[in-house]
């Protein structure tokens, strides 16, 4: 396991992360939300120390034979490590060994030794999360409309949230939603400035 600290390590881990994410989204047939150049700039800037302040983001890689086979992006605050994104090389022979989970277990060990008491794996359902986590935090959305337009927006937002929840709860609906999203995003290119 490598924590990217130098500019060269940061660039290498970001390259691997973005390449792995692009492959994953291409396989799913949906637009890659990590593709815009602004995402790379965000990761680069966040992973670099600012004077005496430590980096806001921490980038980790599980390397095998000098190649990154899994990556993890997270942030530390007040004794809590918050996972933000993870990826793994699907085309690698190592993919069969669950390199993302191996990296995660190593990362939890490291952060525990550093005094981290809470490890947050982020939003969403995944087998590796239920395997590792002993608690689940429910997310809550609050809508407090103050105007007529606010009431209309809150009504729309609640309906959208409920539809999203139902789609994510159904494997068939989720697969169909991914397919539709892929169809809609074909031919659409992100602006160079995104």
What pLDDT score was predicted for residue 194?
A: 44
What does the pLDDT average to over 155-181?
A: 84
Phi, psi of 120, deg, nearest 5: -100, 120
Q: Using CA atoms, how far apart are residues 165 and 163, in angstroms rounded to an integer?
A: 5
- The predicted pLDDT at position 45 comes to 95
For 49-71, write each residue's pLDDT tens digit. Answer: 988 999 999 999 999 998 999 99
Please give the pLDDT value at position 187. 56
Encode the chain in three state secondary structure. CEEECCHHHHHHHHHHHHHHHHHHHHHHCCCCCCCCHHHHHHHHHHCCCECCECCCCEEEEEEECCEEEEEEEEEEECCEEEEEEEEECCCCHHHHHCHHHHHHHHHHHHHHHCCCCEEECCCCCCHHHHHHCCCCCCCCCCCCCCCHHHHHHHHHHHHHHHHHHHHHHCHHHHHHHHHHHHHHHCCCCCCCCC
Radius of gyration of the chain (CA): 19
**pLDDT tens digits for range 75-94:** 998 889 999 999 999 887 88
How would you classify residue 124: left for phi > 0, otherwise alpha for psi between -120 and 50, otherwise beta?
A: left
Please report how the helices 148-169 and 171-185 are oriented relative to each other, as an axis angle in degrees rounded to 10.
Answer: 120
pLDDT value of position 189: 53
pLDDT-derived band of residue 193, with 50, 70 and 90 as boundaries? very low
Interval 116-151: pLDDT, tens: 998 888 777 777 777 777 777 777 778 888 999 999
User: Which pLDDT score, from 0 to 100, does residue 106 have?
Assistant: 95
In angstroms, the Cα distances linking 95 to 10, 69, 191 are 22, 8, 33
CA distance 170 to 164: 10
Mean pLDDT for the stretch of residues 159-184:
82
Banded pLDDT at 19 (limits 50, 70, 90): very high
Domains of the chain: residue spans and CATH: 2-137 (3.40.630.30), 140-194 (no CATH)
The mean pLDDT of 104-120, rounded to a whole number, is: 92
- How does residue 186 score in pLDDT terms, banded at 50, 70 and 90? low
Q: Which residue has the higher pLDDT, 62 or 162?
A: 62
pLDDT averaged over every residue in the chain: 87
pTM above 0.85, yes or no: no
């Amino acid at each position: 396991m490598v924590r990217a600290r130098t500019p060269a390590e940061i660039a290498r881990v970001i390259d691997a992360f973005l390449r792995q994410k692009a492959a994953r989204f291409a396989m799913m047939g949906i637009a890659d939300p990590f593709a815009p150049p602004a995402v790379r700039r965000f990761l680069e800037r966040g992973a670099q120390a600012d004077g005496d302040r430590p980096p806001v983001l921490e980038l980790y890689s599980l390397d095998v034979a000098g190649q990154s086979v899994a990556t993890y992006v997270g942030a530390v605050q007040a004794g809590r490590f918050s996972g933000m994104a993870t990826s793994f090389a699907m085309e690698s022979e190592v993919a069969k060994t669950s390199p993302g989970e191996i990296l995660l277990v190593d990362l939890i060990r490291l952060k525990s030794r550093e005094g981290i008491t809470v490890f947050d794996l982020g939003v969403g359902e995944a087998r590796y999360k239920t395997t590792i986590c002993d608690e689940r935090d429910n997310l809550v959305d609050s809508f407090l409309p103050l105007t007529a337009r606010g009431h209309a927006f809150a009504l729309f937002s609640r309906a959208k949230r409920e539809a999203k929840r139902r789609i994510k709860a159904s494997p068939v609906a989720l697969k169909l939603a991914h397919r539709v999203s892929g169809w809609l995003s074909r031919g659409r290119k992100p602006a160079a400035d995104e």
